[in-house]
Amino acid sequence: MPSSPTRSLDTVPNPAPQRPYRVRMEAPEFTCLCPRTGQPDFATITIDYVPGPLLVELKALKLYLWSWREEGIFHEAVVNRIADDLVAACEPRWIRVTGAFKVRGGITTTVVAEAGVLPADAARLPGEEK
């Protein structure tokens, strides 16, 4: 049976809740619609978080991101909504959602939304300063 887009974010238990490790997921094929023109907006959505008790399940995340394809929404609104929905679903210690939107009318847009506090002892990703 083929999958369908959904706003449901399924979760799984964090196998190491005592450790402040980092998870980064990149979705380079994100699309939504411009609420003014109805034209598609294309972005790479990067989700970087330190898990709390739960992890977002990857197929559920894929279907969730797909659900924005026909939605007319401003860049700032969709990035903040994704962050809010992930916080509600997984209760991360810290999360950053970045939307890097492709050029439209000669302008690119990057929106970053964060919640929580990055633990001082959290693992760093390659290329990050300690």
Residue 84 parent element (H or E): helix 75-90
Proportion of the chain in helix, strand, coil states, percent, rounded to 5: 20, 40, 40
Q: Is 121 a catalytic residue?
A: no
Q: Is 10 annotated in the active site?
A: no
127 φψ region: left (φ > 0), alpha (ψ -120 to 50), beta (else): left
Q: Which of 34, 85, 90, 121 is catalytic?
A: 34
**Residue of 32, 41, 48, 90 with catalytic role:** 41
Q: Return the active site residues.
A: 34, 41
